A and B are shown apart, each in its own frame.
Chain A
Amino acid sequence: MGQQESMSVRVLDPVTTSPGLWQSMIAVLRRDLRLSVRQKQDLLNPLLFFVMVVALFPLGVSPESDFLREAGAGILWVGALLATLLSLDHLFRFDYEDGTLEQMALQPQPLFVLVLAKTLAHWLVTGLPLVILTPMLGMMLFLDGNSVAVLCLTLLIGTPVLSLIGSVGAALTVGLRAGGVLLSLLVIPLYIPVLIFGTGTVMAAAGGSDVSGHLALMAAILVLALVLAPLAAAVALKISLSAS
């Protein structure tokens, strides 16, 4: 962490010596974002993976526009899910290995707040770029404009859920050397409802029905994950830290 953060913290909060919840959250968020920007390969890998997985379907199954229009939403959702999964292993690993995570656990702020900040940073550097890439890939899969818009909206609500649920799995496996494969085994079953609602919403939109109910359900899942996942991930992180 640079000097700047601690300086600005003191300016913001001159009375107490330890920063408040918001300041520490923002400090963790800024630090994680800065680290991601400086390691561009980690930033790009999930996106490249996403594009390549999506490109495999026309090659492997069928380049016909009828098939792709039908399956496009599912392909993009599965691609986004796998790309998120690929990036999860790095969520806590480096901080775990260099001891930063232990220092975070020792902070006076509750660990789940810092975990929430880290997960938010993870979504900003993996989930959000996936959503931004989706319109282009959607056009390549012959989805119409309305479907692409709904698809982007579902991904915008759904990818934070993927990051949040994934943070629990990542926290459980961070202490393991071969955590990556196990991580997908733990997390994929928990991803299934998000996938079903996400693609279901696009299907409903393509069928011409109103999707506000679908979107409200997805938002409900997001709220639930936002409340519970950081707590579970913080407990899991403490378990992983106590083992080392």
Chain B
Amino acid sequence: MAQYATQEWCDLYMEALNKNTAWSEAAKTWEGDFYFIFEVGGPIKEPRYMYIDLWHGVCRGCEMVTDTSEHKPEFIISAPYQIWKRICTKQLDSTQAIITKQSKLTGNMAKIMRYTKAANELTNTTQQLPTEWED
């Protein structure tokens, strides 16, 4: 079991995602990368940044970064740790989180709308991954 928002967790997540055929099928034409930002609050004393690169149904990279200038991703989703936890454990729908302003999306929403199932499979994969939470 790995702690959420650590490099160990990222490695396990990338491996799990690449084994998830439902995700790879839903995302087979997807091209785009993300920063997931964990805002200060709760157990998070400094902001954390997870970079994930998704391309044609393959996760090409998933890493924690400290210098955000390392990548210029197409999308950024930012939320407090507790919100990420609720999304990852499927207590909160990712779309609902954005609509209710519990998380914030930067990027082309229209492109995201084409891939709602792929987005949900990202969450399904997270839910299935044994995860240690910091609170």
- A and B form one complex: no
